[in-house]
A and B are shown apart, each in its own frame.
Chain A
Amino acid sequence: MFRIIHAQFLAPGIKRFVIEAPRIARRQKPGQFVILRIYEEGERIPVTIENSDPEKGTVSIVVQAAGKTTTLLNSLNTGDSILDVVGPLGKPSEIANYGTVVVVGGGVGTAMAYPTAAALKRAGNRVLSIIGARNKELVILESEMRAVSDALMITTDDGSYADKGFVTDKLRQLIQNGARIDLVVAVGPIVMMKAVSELTRKENIHTVVSLNPIMIDGTGMCGGCRVMIDGKSEFACVDGPEFDGHRVNFEVLVQRNSMYRTAEQRSMEDFKHRHEAEHACMATSSAASSANQGEQR
Protein backbone atom coordinates (compact mmCIF):
# COMPACT_ATOMS: atom_id res chain seq x y z
CA MET A 1 0.00 0.00 0.00
CA PHE A 2 1.23 3.46 -0.89
CA ARG A 3 -0.14 6.28 1.27
CA ILE A 4 -1.21 9.57 -0.24
CA ILE A 5 0.23 12.27 1.98
CA HIS A 6 -1.14 15.17 -0.01
CA ALA A 7 -3.78 15.44 -2.73
CA GLN A 8 -4.70 18.66 -4.50
CA PHE A 9 -6.50 19.63 -7.71
CA LEU A 10 -4.28 21.64 -10.05
CA ALA A 11 -7.15 22.25 -12.46
CA PRO A 12 -10.61 20.81 -12.97
CA GLY A 13 -10.11 17.06 -13.45
CA ILE A 14 -6.32 17.28 -12.97
CA LYS A 15 -5.05 16.28 -9.56
CA ARG A 16 -1.61 16.07 -7.98
CA PHE A 17 -0.87 13.34 -5.46
CA VAL A 18 2.18 13.24 -3.24
CA ILE A 19 2.69 9.57 -2.43
CA GLU A 20 4.95 7.85 0.07
CA ALA A 21 7.18 5.67 -2.12
CA PRO A 22 10.77 5.90 -0.81
CA ARG A 23 12.33 3.48 -3.28
CA ILE A 24 10.83 5.27 -6.28
CA ALA A 25 11.68 8.69 -4.86
CA ARG A 26 15.35 7.74 -4.58
CA ARG A 27 15.67 6.54 -8.15
CA GLN A 28 13.31 8.73 -10.17
CA LYS A 29 14.79 10.76 -13.00
CA PRO A 30 13.08 13.12 -15.46
CA GLY A 31 11.22 11.35 -18.25
CA GLN A 32 10.21 8.34 -16.19
CA PHE A 33 6.75 7.25 -15.09
CA VAL A 34 5.00 4.90 -12.69
CA ILE A 35 2.33 2.24 -13.18
CA LEU A 36 -0.33 2.03 -10.53
CA ARG A 37 -3.31 -0.06 -9.54
CA ILE A 38 -5.82 1.38 -7.11
CA TYR A 39 -7.58 -1.71 -5.80
CA GLU A 40 -7.71 -5.47 -6.23
CA GLU A 41 -9.97 -5.51 -9.31
CA GLY A 42 -8.28 -2.48 -10.81
CA GLU A 43 -6.35 -2.19 -14.06
CA ARG A 44 -2.71 -1.10 -14.23
CA ILE A 45 -2.25 2.33 -15.76
CA PRO A 46 0.87 4.39 -16.50
CA VAL A 47 0.95 7.79 -14.78
CA THR A 48 3.22 10.81 -15.07
CA ILE A 49 5.76 11.61 -12.37
CA GLU A 50 6.02 15.35 -11.79
CA ASN A 51 8.96 15.12 -9.40
CA SER A 52 10.14 13.45 -6.25
CA ASP A 53 11.74 14.18 -2.92
CA PRO A 54 14.34 11.53 -2.06
CA GLU A 55 14.84 12.97 1.43
CA LYS A 56 11.18 12.71 2.35
CA GLY A 57 10.71 9.55 0.29
CA THR A 58 7.81 10.96 -1.67
CA VAL A 59 6.84 11.02 -5.31
CA SER A 60 4.47 13.50 -6.86
CA ILE A 61 2.22 12.30 -9.68
CA VAL A 62 -0.30 14.18 -11.77
CA VAL A 63 -3.46 12.54 -13.05
CA GLN A 64 -6.15 13.74 -15.41
CA ALA A 65 -9.56 12.10 -15.05
CA ALA A 66 -10.47 10.47 -18.34
CA GLY A 67 -11.74 6.92 -17.82
CA LYS A 68 -12.96 4.94 -14.84
CA THR A 69 -9.60 4.35 -13.17
CA THR A 70 -8.41 7.93 -13.42
CA THR A 71 -11.79 9.26 -12.28
CA LEU A 72 -11.69 6.94 -9.30
CA LEU A 73 -8.10 7.91 -8.61
CA ASN A 74 -9.03 11.58 -8.60
CA SER A 75 -11.67 10.88 -5.97
CA LEU A 76 -8.92 9.83 -3.54
CA ASN A 77 -7.73 12.27 -0.90
CA THR A 78 -4.96 12.91 1.57
CA GLY A 79 -4.68 9.92 3.88
CA ASP A 80 -6.06 7.40 1.35
CA SER A 81 -3.85 4.71 -0.14
CA ILE A 82 -3.09 3.29 -3.55
CA LEU A 83 -2.68 -0.49 -3.63
CA ASP A 84 0.29 -0.68 -6.01
CA VAL A 85 2.71 1.88 -7.37
CA VAL A 86 5.68 0.59 -9.35
CA GLY A 87 8.51 2.52 -10.90
CA PRO A 88 10.26 4.57 -11.88
CA LEU A 89 9.77 2.99 -15.30
CA GLY A 90 11.17 3.76 -18.71
CA LYS A 91 14.51 5.23 -19.65
CA PRO A 92 15.20 8.66 -18.18
CA SER A 93 15.40 11.68 -20.49
CA GLU A 94 18.84 12.20 -21.99
CA ILE A 95 20.04 15.29 -20.22
CA ALA A 96 23.04 17.17 -21.67
CA ASN A 97 24.01 20.67 -22.61
CA TYR A 98 22.52 20.92 -26.09
CA GLY A 99 22.47 24.72 -26.27
CA THR A 100 18.97 26.04 -26.75
CA VAL A 101 16.13 23.67 -26.01
CA VAL A 102 12.42 24.27 -26.54
CA VAL A 103 10.30 22.28 -24.10
CA VAL A 104 6.68 21.90 -25.15
CA GLY A 105 4.07 20.70 -22.68
CA GLY A 106 0.51 20.03 -23.77
CA GLY A 107 -2.25 19.63 -21.19
CA VAL A 108 -1.37 17.19 -18.44
CA GLY A 109 1.82 16.35 -20.40
CA THR A 110 3.21 19.56 -18.89
CA ALA A 111 3.65 17.64 -15.65
CA MET A 112 6.03 15.25 -17.37
CA ALA A 113 7.78 17.99 -19.35
CA TYR A 114 8.47 19.96 -16.17
CA PRO A 115 11.18 17.75 -14.57
CA THR A 116 12.88 17.40 -17.96
CA ALA A 117 12.85 21.18 -18.44
CA ALA A 118 14.29 21.65 -14.95
CA ALA A 119 17.06 19.12 -15.58
CA LEU A 120 17.90 20.65 -18.96
CA LYS A 121 18.13 24.06 -17.29
CA ARG A 122 20.44 22.68 -14.60
CA ALA A 123 22.60 21.18 -17.35
CA GLY A 124 23.24 24.68 -18.66
CA ASN A 125 20.78 24.85 -21.55
CA ARG A 126 18.85 27.91 -22.54
CA VAL A 127 15.33 26.61 -21.98
CA LEU A 128 12.41 28.13 -23.86
CA SER A 129 9.14 26.59 -22.72
CA ILE A 130 5.75 26.53 -24.33
CA ILE A 131 2.74 25.21 -22.50
CA GLY A 132 -0.66 24.77 -24.04
CA ALA A 133 -4.09 23.96 -22.68
CA ARG A 134 -7.68 23.98 -23.87
CA ASN A 135 -8.57 26.94 -21.66
CA LYS A 136 -7.37 29.08 -18.76
CA GLU A 137 -8.49 26.66 -16.05
CA LEU A 138 -6.49 23.82 -17.54
CA VAL A 139 -3.14 25.60 -17.59
CA ILE A 140 -1.04 23.78 -15.00
CA LEU A 141 2.39 24.27 -13.43
CA GLU A 142 2.80 27.76 -14.86
CA SER A 143 4.94 29.13 -12.03
CA GLU A 144 6.98 25.93 -11.80
CA MET A 145 7.71 26.03 -15.53
CA ARG A 146 8.52 29.72 -15.40
CA ALA A 147 11.07 29.11 -12.65
CA VAL A 148 13.08 26.69 -14.81
CA SER A 149 12.73 28.49 -18.16
CA ASP A 150 14.56 31.40 -19.73
CA ALA A 151 11.26 32.26 -21.40
CA LEU A 152 7.80 30.82 -21.01
CA MET A 153 5.06 31.05 -23.62
CA ILE A 154 1.48 29.97 -23.00
CA THR A 155 -1.32 29.25 -25.42
CA THR A 156 -4.95 28.33 -24.88
CA ASP A 157 -7.18 26.87 -27.58
CA ASP A 158 -9.98 29.32 -26.79
CA GLY A 159 -7.86 32.35 -25.96
CA SER A 160 -9.23 32.54 -22.41
CA TYR A 161 -5.69 32.98 -21.13
CA ALA A 162 -2.44 34.24 -22.65
CA ASP A 163 -2.33 33.75 -26.43
CA LYS A 164 -5.09 32.06 -28.38
CA GLY A 165 -3.82 29.21 -30.50
CA PHE A 166 -1.73 26.10 -30.29
CA VAL A 167 1.76 25.36 -29.00
CA THR A 168 2.86 24.80 -32.60
CA ASP A 169 1.99 28.40 -33.43
CA LYS A 170 4.51 29.55 -30.83
CA LEU A 171 7.12 27.07 -31.98
CA ARG A 172 6.65 28.19 -35.58
CA GLN A 173 7.11 31.82 -34.53
CA LEU A 174 10.34 30.96 -32.72
CA ILE A 175 11.63 29.20 -35.81
CA GLN A 176 10.52 32.02 -38.14
CA ASN A 177 12.18 34.58 -35.90
CA GLY A 178 15.41 32.78 -36.62
CA ALA A 179 16.04 31.52 -33.11
CA ARG A 180 18.68 28.84 -33.03
CA ILE A 181 17.05 25.69 -31.62
CA ASP A 182 19.19 22.65 -30.89
CA LEU A 183 16.52 20.38 -29.47
CA VAL A 184 12.76 20.25 -29.04
CA VAL A 185 11.17 18.14 -26.32
CA ALA A 186 7.41 17.67 -26.63
CA VAL A 187 5.14 15.90 -24.14
CA GLY A 188 1.39 15.89 -24.42
CA PRO A 189 -1.50 14.65 -26.53
CA ILE A 190 -0.52 12.56 -29.56
CA VAL A 191 -1.89 15.12 -32.04
CA MET A 192 0.26 17.80 -30.45
CA MET A 193 3.44 15.70 -30.49
CA LYS A 194 2.75 14.75 -34.10
CA ALA A 195 2.19 18.38 -35.14
CA VAL A 196 5.39 19.46 -33.38
CA SER A 197 7.37 16.66 -35.05
CA GLU A 198 6.04 17.55 -38.48
CA LEU A 199 6.97 21.17 -37.98
CA THR A 200 10.51 20.45 -36.79
CA ARG A 201 11.16 17.78 -39.41
CA LYS A 202 11.11 20.44 -42.12
CA GLU A 203 13.60 22.47 -40.12
CA ASN A 204 15.79 19.51 -39.28
CA ILE A 205 15.54 20.16 -35.55
CA HIS A 206 16.07 17.08 -33.42
CA THR A 207 12.81 16.40 -31.57
CA VAL A 208 12.12 14.10 -28.66
CA VAL A 209 8.57 13.02 -27.82
CA SER A 210 7.33 10.97 -24.88
CA LEU A 211 4.91 8.25 -26.00
CA ASN A 212 1.94 7.04 -24.04
CA PRO A 213 0.75 3.68 -25.36
CA ILE A 214 -1.41 1.19 -23.48
CA MET A 215 0.75 -0.75 -21.04
CA ILE A 216 0.41 -3.56 -18.50
CA ASP A 217 3.61 -4.59 -16.75
CA GLY A 218 5.91 -1.77 -17.83
CA THR A 219 9.00 -4.01 -17.72
CA GLY A 220 9.10 -5.29 -21.30
CA MET A 221 7.38 -8.57 -20.59
CA CYS A 222 4.02 -8.10 -22.29
CA GLY A 223 4.82 -6.14 -25.43
CA GLY A 224 1.47 -4.34 -25.28
CA CYS A 225 3.17 -0.95 -25.45
CA ARG A 226 4.85 -1.60 -28.77
CA VAL A 227 5.13 1.44 -30.95
CA MET A 228 6.29 1.72 -34.52
CA ILE A 229 9.63 3.46 -34.89
CA ASP A 230 11.04 3.66 -38.42
CA GLY A 231 8.67 0.85 -39.38
CA LYS A 232 9.89 -1.48 -36.63
CA SER A 233 8.34 -2.46 -33.31
CA GLU A 234 9.90 -1.02 -30.16
CA PHE A 235 8.61 -1.20 -26.60
CA ALA A 236 7.83 2.15 -24.99
CA CYS A 237 8.48 0.81 -21.48
CA VAL A 238 12.05 -0.39 -22.05
CA ASP A 239 13.16 1.35 -25.26
CA GLY A 240 11.29 4.57 -24.41
CA PRO A 241 9.05 6.28 -23.47
CA GLU A 242 11.06 8.98 -25.25
CA PHE A 243 11.70 8.56 -28.96
CA ASP A 244 12.89 10.63 -31.89
CA GLY A 245 9.65 12.28 -33.00
CA HIS A 246 10.71 12.15 -36.64
CA ARG A 247 10.85 8.35 -36.56
CA VAL A 248 7.55 7.72 -34.75
CA ASN A 249 4.49 6.42 -36.57
CA PHE A 250 1.84 8.44 -34.73
CA GLU A 251 -1.08 6.95 -36.72
CA VAL A 252 -0.29 3.50 -35.36
CA LEU A 253 -0.08 4.92 -31.83
CA VAL A 254 -3.52 6.56 -32.17
CA GLN A 255 -4.95 3.37 -33.65
CA ARG A 256 -3.52 1.08 -30.96
CA ASN A 257 -4.62 3.40 -28.15
CA SER A 258 -8.18 3.06 -29.46
CA MET A 259 -8.15 -0.75 -29.10
CA TYR A 260 -10.26 -0.90 -25.96
CA ARG A 261 -12.42 2.16 -26.49
CA THR A 262 -15.68 0.18 -26.37
CA ALA A 263 -14.67 -1.61 -23.17
CA GLU A 264 -13.43 1.62 -21.60
CA GLN A 265 -16.69 3.39 -22.35
CA ARG A 266 -18.64 0.50 -20.88
CA SER A 267 -16.44 0.51 -17.79
CA MET A 268 -16.95 4.23 -17.35
CA GLU A 269 -20.73 4.02 -17.83
CA ASP A 270 -21.07 1.15 -15.36
CA PHE A 271 -19.01 3.13 -12.91
CA LYS A 272 -21.05 6.30 -13.36
CA HIS A 273 -24.33 4.44 -12.93
CA ARG A 274 -23.17 2.79 -9.75
CA HIS A 275 -21.69 6.01 -8.48
CA GLU A 276 -24.82 7.96 -9.28
CA ALA A 277 -26.94 5.35 -7.57
CA GLU A 278 -24.78 5.64 -4.48
CA HIS A 279 -24.28 9.36 -4.33
CA ALA A 280 -27.02 10.77 -6.53
CA CYS A 281 -24.47 12.95 -8.22
CA MET A 282 -20.93 12.76 -9.45
CA ALA A 283 -18.28 15.09 -8.20
CA THR A 284 -15.96 14.89 -11.14
CA SER A 285 -16.70 16.00 -14.66
CA SER A 286 -17.55 13.31 -17.19
CA ALA A 287 -15.04 11.53 -19.32
CA ALA A 288 -13.40 13.28 -22.18
CA SER A 289 -14.32 11.76 -25.52
CA SER A 290 -10.77 10.57 -25.95
CA ALA A 291 -10.96 8.69 -22.67
CA ASN A 292 -8.58 5.79 -22.57
CA GLN A 293 -5.93 4.41 -20.34
CA GLY A 294 -3.11 5.14 -22.73
CA GLU A 295 -3.75 8.87 -22.74
CA GLN A 296 -2.72 9.56 -19.20
CA ARG A 297 0.71 10.79 -20.00
Chain B
Amino acid sequence: MTLTINDKEYELPSDPRVSLLDFIRHDAGLSGTKKGCDHGQCGACTVIVNGERINSCLTLAIMHEDDAVTTIEGLGTPTNPSALQQAFLSHDGYQCGYCTPGQICSATAMLTEIASGLPSDATEDISTSPKLTDEEIRERMSGNLCRCGAYPNIVAAIREVAEAGL
Protein backbone atom coordinates (compact mmCIF):
# COMPACT_ATOMS: atom_id res chain seq x y z
CA MET B 1 0.00 0.00 0.00
CA THR B 2 1.51 3.29 -1.10
CA LEU B 3 0.75 6.95 -1.66
CA THR B 4 2.75 9.50 -3.56
CA ILE B 5 4.01 12.76 -2.19
CA ASN B 6 5.41 15.22 -4.71
CA ASP B 7 5.59 12.41 -7.31
CA LYS B 8 7.58 10.14 -5.02
CA GLU B 9 6.08 6.89 -3.79
CA TYR B 10 5.96 6.06 -0.07
CA GLU B 11 4.88 2.91 1.78
CA LEU B 12 1.91 3.62 4.02
CA PRO B 13 2.64 3.32 7.75
CA SER B 14 1.92 0.15 9.68
CA ASP B 15 0.51 2.12 12.62
CA PRO B 16 -3.03 3.13 11.64
CA ARG B 17 -2.96 6.04 14.11
CA VAL B 18 -0.45 8.05 12.09
CA SER B 19 -2.10 11.16 10.70
CA LEU B 20 -1.31 12.19 7.15
CA LEU B 21 0.39 15.25 8.67
CA ASP B 22 2.68 13.22 10.92
CA PHE B 23 3.40 10.86 8.05
CA ILE B 24 4.46 13.75 5.84
CA ARG B 25 6.52 15.49 8.52
CA HIS B 26 8.02 12.49 10.23
CA ASP B 27 7.95 9.39 8.04
CA ALA B 28 8.51 11.17 4.74
CA GLY B 29 10.75 13.79 6.37
CA LEU B 30 9.04 16.69 4.60
CA SER B 31 8.86 19.15 7.46
CA GLY B 32 7.72 22.04 5.30
CA THR B 33 4.16 21.06 6.20
CA LYS B 34 3.51 22.44 9.68
CA LYS B 35 1.64 21.28 12.75
CA GLY B 36 -0.01 24.23 14.44
CA CYS B 37 -2.97 22.72 16.27
CA ASP B 38 -3.47 19.09 15.13
CA HIS B 39 -7.23 19.72 15.20
CA GLY B 40 -8.04 21.34 11.87
CA GLN B 41 -8.32 24.78 13.38
CA CYS B 42 -5.33 26.67 12.02
CA GLY B 43 -4.60 25.47 8.48
CA ALA B 44 -0.82 25.28 8.94
CA CYS B 45 -0.91 21.65 7.76
CA THR B 46 -2.74 22.37 4.49
CA VAL B 47 -1.60 20.15 1.62
CA ILE B 48 -3.09 19.39 -1.76
CA VAL B 49 -4.49 15.87 -2.20
CA ASN B 50 -5.61 14.91 -5.69
CA GLY B 51 -5.90 18.60 -6.52
CA GLU B 52 -7.92 19.66 -3.47
CA ARG B 53 -6.64 21.39 -0.35
CA ILE B 54 -7.17 19.60 2.95
CA ASN B 55 -6.02 19.82 6.55
CA SER B 56 -3.60 16.91 6.70
CA CYS B 57 -3.93 16.69 10.49
CA LEU B 58 -7.57 15.67 10.17
CA THR B 59 -7.01 12.55 8.14
CA LEU B 60 -5.09 9.33 8.66
CA ALA B 61 -2.27 8.38 6.36
CA ILE B 62 -3.71 4.92 5.70
CA MET B 63 -6.85 6.50 4.23
CA HIS B 64 -4.77 7.79 1.32
CA GLU B 65 -3.75 4.69 -0.57
CA ASP B 66 -2.84 5.64 -4.15
CA ASP B 67 -3.56 9.30 -3.48
CA ALA B 68 -1.31 12.02 -4.89
CA VAL B 69 -0.22 14.52 -2.27
CA THR B 70 1.48 17.81 -3.06
CA THR B 71 3.23 19.63 -0.25
CA ILE B 72 5.01 22.97 -0.16
CA GLU B 73 8.21 21.23 -1.26
CA GLY B 74 6.37 20.03 -4.35
CA LEU B 75 5.29 23.51 -5.40
CA GLY B 76 8.73 25.00 -5.74
CA THR B 77 12.24 25.19 -4.38
CA PRO B 78 14.50 28.03 -3.22
CA THR B 79 16.11 28.08 -6.64
CA ASN B 80 12.87 27.62 -8.53
CA PRO B 81 9.99 28.98 -6.47
CA SER B 82 6.41 28.96 -7.73
CA ALA B 83 4.74 32.25 -8.64
CA LEU B 84 2.88 32.28 -5.31
CA GLN B 85 6.02 31.50 -3.34
CA GLN B 86 7.78 34.36 -5.10
CA ALA B 87 4.84 36.69 -4.47
CA PHE B 88 4.73 35.82 -0.76
CA LEU B 89 8.44 36.69 -0.63
CA SER B 90 8.14 40.03 -2.40
CA HIS B 91 4.95 41.11 -0.60
CA ASP B 92 6.23 39.92 2.79
CA GLY B 93 3.20 37.67 3.11
CA TYR B 94 4.57 36.15 6.31
CA GLN B 95 6.76 36.98 9.24
CA CYS B 96 7.70 33.99 11.38
CA GLY B 97 7.03 31.73 8.40
CA TYR B 98 5.32 28.94 10.30
CA CYS B 99 1.86 29.25 8.74
CA THR B 100 3.35 30.08 5.36
CA PRO B 101 3.56 26.66 3.68
CA GLY B 102 -0.08 26.06 4.58
CA GLN B 103 -1.06 29.50 3.30
CA ILE B 104 0.70 28.91 -0.01
CA CYS B 105 -0.69 25.39 -0.51
CA SER B 106 -4.12 26.73 0.37
CA ALA B 107 -3.82 29.70 -2.00
CA THR B 108 -2.59 27.46 -4.81
CA ALA B 109 -5.68 25.23 -4.61
CA MET B 110 -7.98 28.16 -3.84
CA LEU B 111 -7.22 29.83 -7.16
CA THR B 112 -8.24 26.63 -8.88
CA GLU B 113 -11.48 26.60 -6.91
CA ILE B 114 -12.35 30.11 -8.06
CA ALA B 115 -11.41 29.28 -11.64
CA SER B 116 -13.69 26.24 -11.54
CA GLY B 117 -16.60 28.41 -10.38
CA LEU B 118 -17.03 27.18 -6.81
CA PRO B 119 -18.87 29.87 -4.82
CA SER B 120 -18.06 31.04 -1.32
CA ASP B 121 -19.76 33.07 1.40
CA ALA B 122 -18.29 36.18 -0.19
CA THR B 123 -19.77 35.45 -3.62
CA GLU B 124 -22.46 38.02 -4.27
CA ASP B 125 -24.35 36.06 -6.90
CA ILE B 126 -23.82 32.32 -6.61
CA SER B 127 -25.57 31.71 -9.92
CA THR B 128 -22.61 33.30 -11.72
CA SER B 129 -18.92 32.52 -11.61
CA PRO B 130 -17.18 34.11 -8.63
CA LYS B 131 -14.96 37.07 -9.36
CA LEU B 132 -11.55 37.27 -7.83
CA THR B 133 -12.18 40.13 -5.42
CA ASP B 134 -10.16 40.85 -2.29
CA GLU B 135 -13.18 39.81 -0.25
CA GLU B 136 -13.27 36.42 -2.04
CA ILE B 137 -9.58 35.94 -1.28
CA ARG B 138 -10.05 36.91 2.38
CA GLU B 139 -13.02 34.58 2.82
CA ARG B 140 -11.38 31.64 1.08
CA MET B 141 -8.12 32.11 3.01
CA SER B 142 -9.80 32.40 6.40
CA GLY B 143 -9.06 28.77 7.23
CA ASN B 144 -5.38 29.62 7.40
CA LEU B 145 -4.52 31.54 10.56
CA CYS B 146 -1.52 33.86 10.66
CA ARG B 147 -0.82 35.12 14.16
CA CYS B 148 1.86 37.50 12.91
CA GLY B 149 -0.97 39.28 11.13
CA ALA B 150 0.37 39.25 7.60
CA TYR B 151 -3.13 39.02 6.12
CA PRO B 152 -3.05 42.23 4.04
CA ASN B 153 0.25 41.14 2.51
CA ILE B 154 -1.07 37.62 1.89
CA VAL B 155 -4.05 39.08 0.01
CA ALA B 156 -1.71 41.32 -2.00
CA ALA B 157 0.51 38.38 -2.92
CA ILE B 158 -2.41 36.21 -4.06
CA ARG B 159 -4.02 39.08 -5.94
CA GLU B 160 -0.81 39.73 -7.86
CA VAL B 161 -0.48 36.12 -8.96
CA ALA B 162 -4.16 35.83 -9.84
CA GLU B 163 -4.17 39.02 -11.87
CA ALA B 164 -1.04 38.04 -13.73
CA GLY B 165 -2.67 34.68 -14.50
CA LEU B 166 0.49 32.89 -13.46
Whether chains A and B associate is no
Q: Which residues of A contact B (CB under 8 A)?
A: none
